[in-house]
């Protein structure tokens, strides 16, 4: 009897070792390998049900995942049973449609999102897949209709969400974003989807054998490639790094558990600028072609060996990187950052110029426009590239009837912040009122791409298309507008 017990214990150790390895493979996005192992290994029924449930959940089949797992008593460091149960409830109201390799899920109030995403999904998948040399067949992309459902699905806390401005995550085998409908200015969700897809691809290629700072750096650097843009150090990023040099850099250790763990959107912005610069220095010294091979090697050899093999000694490169940041000579010029705003606000400005802006706003409200301009221009002396100051100056010139001067400042604002929702809508409004419909259209199109729920934008686009004889454009936006 004792001998039988020890034999049973010996065999059980092997069974649990196999279970633990397969469990890690699933968590590390090695789904095909895990599926093969589940069928090949002689697992206990409860173990097999648990692992098959996890695979189903990672593939987005929450109801079946819960059905498989609900009667198992296996415990891990995460409550999968409750997670799949709740996700099955959340998914009941999902509308599901295919767009290229993506299975897109959304609630009825966000159906216009699919119309916009369907236009770009193939660009995202092809550009990312070609660069990273990996083909995906089916990727789940879910758009959440409110903060509560997004928080549960992402496992983020509300504090992390509000503090860091996180509105998207790649986790549990799928891409998840919060609907831009919930934010008054929307956000750059198209780049964000590409960013999260890159995270997904990196996980698949590396089995997550890569530090988070570099994972984030790669996603940030290449999130724009679907637009056909070449990764480069933007003027805005230089601006952030110049300010970081004065206010303090964010150590990679500080966000090793993820960007949401940082204390503010300002810290997140600095951290992204740093990891963006890190990747761009790698590209500058070793070229882009080595990135894909490096990621493949991470899966086989681990991060350090792969980095040293494909590039240079990691510790030496890291030391040089921090030295470059500390010794940069970029000057802070006040480029506007793409922060997340949960409600409408006019408090966009840093403390250093807030007094000038506040006084200028008061004077403008009292119709003392010339005096208001003096205050705004004082702010502009400190932050000459701040597009939102240029917008205030432009609107003040309009009150003075000086349209040419207003247009100059609108153009400067657009040059420095070509994707900013406030800049785009204010300049588009001006062009529309001036009857410059042809110029108005591309600006308002960019604005509603950031916030596809901006009703005024559709009305301006439809009327501008009518005025310029663009029948197809008019019909396109009438159709989308009818879906709101």
- 445: domain CATH number? 1.25.40.10
Indicate whether 100 pLDDT > 50. yes
Indicate whether 347 pLDDT > 90. no
Per-residue pLDDT tens over the stretch 260-281: 999 999 999 999 999 999 999 9
Structural domain includes residue 346: no
Beta strand extents in 30-79 (DSSP E only): none
What's the total number of domains in the chain?
3
Per-residue pLDDT tens over the stretch 192-248: 999 999 999 999 999 999 999 999 999 999 999 999 999 999 999 999 999 999 999
- Please state the rounded mean pLDDT for residues 124-145: 96
Structural domain includes residue 85: no
User: Strands 168-171 and 139-144: what pairing?
Assistant: unpaired
Structural domain includes residue 131: yes
Asked if 414 and 458 sit in the same domain, the reply is: yes
pLDDT reported for residue 238: 96
Per-residue pLDDT tens over the stretch 135-147: 999 999 999 999 9
C-alpha to C-alpha distances, 149 to 79, 89, 173, 176, 324, nearest whole angstrom: 17, 10, 17, 11, 42
Asked if 255 and 364 sit in the same domain, the reply is: no
Indicate whether 77 pLDDT > 90. yes
Structural domain includes residue 128: yes
- Please state the rounded mean pLDDT for residues 285-296: 95
- Is-contact 384 353, C-beta < 8 A? no
pLDDT reported for residue 14: 47
- Is-contact 54 26, C-beta < 8 A? yes
Q: What is the dihedral of CA 365, 367, 373, 378, to 10 degrees?
A: -50
Asked if 207 and 322 sit in the same domain, the reply is: yes
* CA of residue 393 relative to chain centroid, distance: 31
Indicate whether 318 pLDDT > 60. yes
Q: For residue 38, what are its two tokens?
A: 């589940």
Q: How far apart are CA 11 and CA 5, in angstroms?
A: 10
Asked if 240 and 108 sit in the same domain, the reply is: yes
Report the range of poorest mean pLDDT among 345-354, 372-381, 386-395.
Answer: 345-354
pLDDT cut 90: percent of the chain above it: 92
Per-residue pLDDT tens over the stretch 153-165: 999 999 999 999 9
C-alpha to C-alpha distances, 90 to 61, 142, 158, 176, nearest whole angstrom: 12, 11, 18, 13
Structural domain includes residue 88: no
pLDDT cut 70: percent of the chain above it: 96
Q: For residue 17, what are its two tokens?
A: 């070792």
- Please state the rounded mean pLDDT for residues 167-181: 98
- Is-contact 47 20, C-beta < 8 A? no
Asked if 70 and 98 sit in the same domain, the reply is: no
- 180: domain CATH number? 1.10.390.10
- Is-contact 181 109, C-beta < 8 A? yes
Asked if 317 and 359 sit in the same domain, the reply is: no
Domain final residue, candidates 326, 343, 359: 326
Asked if 35 and 104 sit in the same domain, the reply is: no
Q: For residue 75, what are its two tokens?
A: 């415990």
pLDDT reported for residue 7: 42
pLDDT band with cut points at 50, 70 and 90 for residue 419: very high
Asked if 69 and 98 sit in the same domain, the reply is: no
- Is-contact 128 226, C-beta < 8 A? yes
Asked if 65 and 100 sit in the same domain, the reply is: no
Q: How far apart are CA 337 and CA 271, in angstroms?
A: 13
Q: How far apart are CA 163 and CA 156, in angstroms?
A: 11
Share of the chain residues as helix, strand and coil, in percent rounded to the nearest 5? 70, 5, 25
pLDDT band with cut points at 50, 70 and 90 for residue 8: very low
- Is-contact 421 185, C-beta < 8 A? yes
pLDDT reported for residue 351: 74
Structural domain includes residue 224: yes
pLDDT band with cut points at 50, 70 and 90 for residue 16: low
- Is-contact 430 440, C-beta < 8 A? no
Asked if 186 and 266 sit in the same domain, the reply is: yes
Indicate whether 303 pLDDT > 60. yes
pLDDT reported for residue 17: 61
Indicate whether 9 pLDDT > 80. no
DSSP state letter for 207: T
Mean residue pLDDT across the chain: 94
Report the range of poorest mean pLDDT among 234-243, 349-358, 451-460.
Answer: 349-358
* CA of residue 121 relative to chain centroid, distance: 15
pLDDT reported for residue 214: 98
Asked if 222 and 355 sit in the same domain, the reply is: no
pLDDT band with cut points at 50, 70 and 90 for residue 4: very low
Q: How far apart are CA 32 and CA 478, in angstroms?
A: 44
Asked if 312 and 369 sit in the same domain, the reply is: no
| Cα distance between the two ends of the chain | 71
- Please state the rounded mean pLDDT for residues 281-310: 96
* CA of residue 280 relative to chain centroid, distance: 19
Domain carrying residue 382: 351-482
């Amino acid at each position: 009897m004792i001998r039988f017990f020890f034999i049973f214990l010996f065999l059980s150790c092997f069974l649990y070792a196999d279970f633990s390895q397969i469990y890690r493979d699933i968590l590390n996005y090695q789904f095909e390998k895990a599926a093969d192992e589940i069928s090949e290994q002689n697992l206990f029924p409860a173990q097999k049900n648990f692992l098959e449930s996890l695979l189903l959940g990672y593939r987005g089949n929450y109801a079946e995942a819960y059905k498989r797992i609900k009667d198992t008593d296996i415990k891990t460091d995460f409550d999968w049973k409750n997670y799949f149960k709740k996700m099955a409830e959340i998914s009941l109201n999902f509308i599901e449609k295919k767009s290229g390799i993506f299975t897109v899920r959304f609630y009825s109030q966000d159906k216009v999102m699919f119309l916009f995403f369907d236009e770009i999904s193939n660009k995202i998948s092809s550009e990312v897949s070609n660069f990273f040399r990996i083909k995906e067949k089916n990727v789940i992309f879910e758009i959440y209709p409110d903060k509560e459902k997004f928080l549960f699905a992402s496992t983020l806390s509300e504090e992390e969400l509000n503090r860091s401005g996180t509105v998207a995550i790649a986790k549990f085998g799928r891409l998840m974003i919060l609907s831009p409908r919930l934010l008054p200015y929307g956000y750059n969700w198209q780049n964000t989807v590409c960013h999260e897809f890159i995270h997904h691809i990196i996980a698949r290629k590396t089995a997550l054998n890569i530090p988070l700072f570099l994972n984030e750096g790669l996603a940030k650097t290449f999130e724009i490639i679907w637009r056909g843009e070449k990764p480069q150090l933007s003027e805005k990023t230089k601006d952030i790094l110049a300010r970081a040099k004065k206010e303090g850099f964010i150590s990679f250790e500080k966000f090793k558990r993820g960007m949401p763990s940082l204390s503010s959107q300002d810290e997140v912005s600095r951290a992204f600028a740093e990891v963006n610069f890190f990747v761009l220095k790698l590209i500058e010294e070793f070229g882009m072609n080595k990135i894909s091979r490096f990621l493949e090697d991470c899966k086989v050899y681990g991060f350090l060996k792969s980095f040293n093999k494909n590039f240079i000694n990691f510790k030496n490169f890291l030391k040089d990187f921090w030295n470059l940041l500390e010794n940069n000579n970029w000057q802070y010029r006040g480029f506007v950052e793409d922060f997340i705003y949960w409600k409408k606000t006019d408090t966009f400005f840093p403390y250093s110029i807030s007094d000038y802006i506040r006084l200028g706003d008061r004077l403008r409200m009292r119709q003392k426009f010339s005096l208001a301009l003096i205050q705004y221009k004082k702010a502009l002396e400190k932050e000459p590239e701040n597009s939102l100051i240029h917008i205030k100056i432009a609107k003040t010139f309009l009150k003075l009837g000086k349209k040419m001067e207003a247009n100059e400042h609108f153009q400067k604002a657009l040059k420095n912040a070509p994707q900013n929702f406030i800049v785009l809508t204010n300049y588009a409004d001006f062009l529309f009122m001036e009857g410059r419909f042809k110029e108005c259209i591309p600006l308002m199109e960019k604005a509603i791409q950031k916030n596809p729920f901006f009703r005024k934008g559709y009305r301006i686009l439809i009327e501008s298309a009518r005025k310029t004889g663009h029948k197809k454009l008019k019909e396109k936006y009438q159709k989308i507008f009818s879906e709101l």
